[in-house]
Amino acid sequence: MHIRRKYSQKYKQEAVQLVRRFDIPLTKIATNMGINLGMFSQFS
């Protein structure tokens, strides 16, 4: 069974800020935060 996660608005904003602020690959940030890469694209 697949469990659907809900991310708070603040969590989404922090994730997007990490990508914009630092020279770290998006895949690494998504993995470290436990976010599916496809879902991450919906945050911005």
Extract long-range pairs of 4-10: CB within 8 Å, 24+ residues apart: 7/35, 7/43
Total-model pTM: 0.69
Q: What is the pLDDT of residues 3-33, one digit of tens each?
A: 777 889 998 899 889 888 988 888 898 899 8
pLDDT of residue 7: 85
pLDDT of residue 41: 76
Per-residue pLDDT band at 1 (split at 50, 70, 90): low
Instruction: List, in sequence order, the alpha helices (H) in the chain.
Output: 9-21, 26-33, 37-40
Q: Please report, for the chain, the start and end positions of each structural domain, with discontinuous segments joined by +.
A: 9-40
pLDDT of residue 10: 93
pLDDT of residue 39: 83
